[in-house]
Structure 1
């Protein structure tokens, strides 16, 4: 693999992970809280959606969340397989590369789902609401790190 291809691959993987993190934030916000003290931000309330906007928002969410959960499940399964291949008695580079390619494809598909969802949400918001959502996502993204990053920091 030449350097250019490697860097392009790393960039694609980084973008997919970043959007995956964004998707995780959106999924977490949509889940009900186990208790009031840990209640996540209710995005429709935070944005001050009008009843018609709220209805459309609620129509957009279920299919997106269902697809996202299925995609995360597939990614998790392939990540586990990747780790098993890496730590096998005799690691096979072809198997490692195949799992990595599958994960990258799943992450790219997930990235496209998130982009489509955010564009759909953007379309139903007015300018101040779009600004609030953008700032919320950017602030959450700035606070997030992957589990792998957290694992290697300790």
Structure 2
């Protein structure tokens, strides 16, 4: 069954936002608790995980190229999202242009998701059992608590 293009577009945007949440979880320092009604306190993730000096050196060596790739990929996704929205709201929307931007976003998101998965697997391999448990719980808690930008816009 063929889905209307607007559904595919919404799914692509939703996937991009979900990947953004994953990236934020990986990149943002972890809190022990989230204050009621506010943003989580900023905590340095290597400290939160209680990394040893050796682990910290490996972590920093892995983080720098990962963050660079992530930033570059997000710039590309942002550029295609802007083009997609402009095509959608053009005086005469062109279906082929919309579909091309959606496909480009999907490719970039798939690459982004693979980067995040690879990074998490590398971090997992470096961590001991207690550290893995802390990181797992943090990720699961953040997934349950964070809303997408669209959800935030529609709640106001």
Task: Identify if the C-alpha distance between structure 1 residues 139 and 113 changes in structure 2 by more than 3 Å, giving closer, same or farther.
Answer: same
How many angstroms does 1:143 deviate by?
A: 1.6
Partner of 1:137: 139
Other-structure match for 2:27: 27
* Paired residues of 2:73 and 2:108 also in contact (CA < 8 A): yes
**What is the deviation of 1:14?**
5.2
Instruction: Give the direction of change, closer, same or farther, for the CA distance of 1:78–1:149 in structure 2 (3 Å limit).
Output: same
Structure 1 gap ranges (5+): 31-37
Query: Does residue 2 of the first structure (1) align with residue 9 of the second (2)?
Result: no
Which residues in structure 2 correspond to 1:110-121 (within 5 Å)?
A: 110-121=112-123
Q: 1:62-95: CA deviations, max 9, x gaps?
A: 0000000001111111100000000000011111
What's the CA shift string for 1:100-121, capped at 9, x where partnerless?
A: 1110110000000000000000
Structure-2 separation of matches of 1:16 and 1:72: 9
Match of 1:58 in 2: 60
The aligned residue for residue 83 of structure 1 is 85
Superposition TM-score, scaled by structure 2 size: 0.81
Alignment RMSD: 2.6
After the TM superposition, which parts of structure 1 deviate over 6 Å for at least 4 consecutive aligned residues? 6-13
Q: Which of 89, 99, 102 is the aligned partner of 1:100? A: 102
Instruction: From the two aligned structures, give the one with the greater helix fraction.
Output: 1
What runs of 5+ residues in structure 2 fail to find an aligned partner? 31-39
The count of corresponding residues between Structure 1 and Structure 2 is 145
49-58 vs 109-118, greater mean Cα deviation: 49-58
